Structure 1
Amino acid sequence: MLEHILPPTVQTAHSLSDRADAEAVLFPEEWPTVATAVASRQAEYATVRACARDALTKLGQPPVALVPGEDREPRWPAGIVGSMTHCTGFRGAAVAHDRDIAALGIDAEPNAPLPDGDSLLNVLARREEADLLAILPACGTAWDRLLFSAKECVYKAWFPLTRRWLGFEEAIVRISPAGTFEAQLLVEGPTLDGEVLESFSGTWLHMDGLLLTAIAVPLRRTSERGAGYESRAEPGS
C-alpha cells in the first residue's frame, strides 16, 4: 500500500493485523516503553516495529531496537530516516537512506469521519482549510479525516528536520482529489540544500477502507520548487 505513494528509494512494510510470529517480538530495550500497557497496545507496538525492521531489511540493514527519543519520536539507525504509523486495521513503516531522502512522514487512518464532527474539525482546521474541504467532491472519502492524516504526516516530516513542535494551525493543507496535497508552512521552515523550505508536498491514497498519507522530502530540491512525488496509484482508489 505505502509503496504506491512513496518514491522507489523508500522501502516499506505493513501488516493489516497484529503479528504473532517470532519477528514481532520486542527487543529488551523496547519493552520498558509498553511494559505497563494493555496487551493490545503491546501487540500494536511490537507489530509496527516488526514492520519497521522488515523495511530496514529491504535496505540491507540488520534488525535493531527502535526506541523512542525524548519526544517519543522513533530513533533510527545512523544514516537512515523513517516513519511509522498505526491505526485500526493497519500498521506500517517506511525507511530510506539519508543520502536519498531528508525526512519521511507517513500516516494511516480509517476512512471514516472524525469523531465529534465539527468540534474536532474546528480544533484541527483553519478557516481556509474548512472552506477547501467543503468544496471537495462527495466521492466516499472522509475529507476531514484525510486532513487530519495529512497534518499528522506533515508533523512527522517536520520534526526530524527542526526538532520543534508544529501546531495544527501553523500549516495550511490543500488537498487535491487527484491524490496529492500541499502543506504551506506558516512559520519559518528548516533549511535544506541551502534554502528554507516553505512547504511540503505529499501524496494520499484511499484503499480498502483506509486513508494513507505520505511525505518524502528529497535531500536535494528539484528545479521545480515544491515538487513532490507523483503517486503511482490510481488517485483516490
Structure 2
Amino acid sequence: MLVLPFSDIAVEIVEDSPFATSDNLFNEEKIFIKREWSEIRLKTYILGRCAAHRALQTLQKEIVPILKGRDGEPIWPFDIVGSISHKDAIAVAAVGKKKRYKGIGVDIEDQTTILSKKEYSLFCTPQEIACIDKKEFSPIDIFSRKEAILKAYYTAYSKLCNWIDIDTINVSKASNVTIICMLKKNFIINLCCVEK
C-alpha cells in the first residue's frame, strides 16, 4: 500500500507473481475473460482485480467481485469510487469513499517509453507541449496524467472527455481536483481525485 495524504483513499500495487492466477478471481470476474486473450492480457486482468481486492480490503470493506460496466470500467460497491490500471506485469488500483469523492482515476505507465513529437501532439495541448519542450514533463508524464483525469472525470460525470480537451497543467487549479504522481521502479503512477 502507498501512503497518501488522504485517510479515505487506498492505492494498492500488485506485481506479477506465480501466484497471480485466475484462482484469485471471483467466478463473477472470470466470466469477463475472453478465450482470445494473450497470456499477458490475462495476467494484467488478474493483477488488476487482485490490486482492486486489496485496495477494498485496505478501506476495511468486504472484498467483492469487481465487474465491468458498459465501457469496460470497473463497477465498485455502491459507496466506493475507484479505478484500475495495468501495464505489463504490474497493476494498480485506487479506491475512495463516495461520500467524499465524485471520481477517482489512476494510471500506470512505463517511464522509459519514448513518444515522438508527432505522437504526443495528437493528445497534448500547446501549453503541455511547451512544458515538454522545457523538460518540465515528459510525454509519458502528460499521457499518464490525462489517463488518470479521464478516468476520474468519467466516474464523476459519466461522460468521456476528448484527450485534447484535458488540460493537465491547469486542471489542479480547480478547487476540487487533486493530482498526485508516484514512482515505482521505472513506472509512473498518476492518481486524480475529484472531490464533492
TM-score interval for Structure 1 and Structure 2 normalised by the shorter chain? 0.7 to 0.9
1:25 matched residue in structure 2: 24
1:34, 1:41 within 8 Å by CA — same for their partners in 2?
no
Runs (4+) of structure 1 exceeding 4 A deviation are: 21-24
Distance 1:169 1:199, change over 3 A: farther
Residues 175-207 of structure 1: CA deviation (Å, up to 9, x unaligned): xxxxxxx4279xxxxxxxxxxx68733121234
Residues 144-200 of structure 1: CA deviation (Å, up to 9, x unaligned): 1000000001101100111111011112221xxxxxxx4279xxxxxxxxxxx6873
| Aligned-partner Cα distance in 2 for 1:47–1:145 | 22
Residues 5-47 of structure 1: CA deviation (Å, up to 9, x unaligned): 5522111221122452578622222223223212221121112
1:74, 1:83 within 8 Å by CA — same for their partners in 2?
yes
1:130 matched residue in structure 2: 129
Q: What letter matches 2:180 in structure 1?
A: T
Structure 2: gaps of 5 or more residues: none
| SS of corresponding position for 1:70 | coil
| Aligned-partner Cα distance in 1 for 2:8–2:126 | 36
1:179 matched residue in structure 2: none
Match of 2:192 among 206, 209, 215: 215
Distance 1:153 1:78, change over 3 A: same
Structure 1: gaps of 5 or more residues: 175-181, 186-196, 220-237
Mapping 1:172-187, distance limit 5 Å:
172-174=167-169, 182-183=170-171
**TM-score scaled by length of structure 2:** 0.87
| SS of corresponding position for 2:107 | strand
2:20, 2:46 within 8 Å by CA — same for their partners in 1?
no
1:43 matched residue in structure 2: 43
Q: What letter matches 2:29 in structure 1?
A: E
| Aligned-partner Cα distance in 1 for 2:167–2:46 | 34
| SS of corresponding position for 1:71 | coil
Distance 1:71 1:21, change over 3 A: closer
Distance 1:128 1:94, change over 3 A: same
| Aligned-partner Cα distance in 2 for 1:42–1:184 | 35
**TM-score scaled by length of structure 1:** 0.73
Distance 1:120 1:56, change over 3 A: same
1:228 matched residue in structure 2: none
State which structure, 1 or 2, has the greater radius of gyration over its C-alpha atoms.
1
Most deviating of 155-164 and 106-115: 106-115
2:114 matched residue in structure 1: 114
Mapping 1:1-237, distance limit 5 Å:
3-5=2-4, 7-18=6-17, 20=19, 25-36=24-35, 37-115=37-115, 117-137=116-136, 143-174=138-169, 182-183=170-171, 200-219=177-196
Distance 1:22 1:121, change over 3 A: closer
2:84, 2:107 within 8 Å by CA — same for their partners in 1?
yes
Distance 1:5 1:113, change over 3 A: farther
Residues 52-108 of structure 1: CA deviation (Å, up to 9, x unaligned): 111111222222111110011110011011111111242111112112322111111
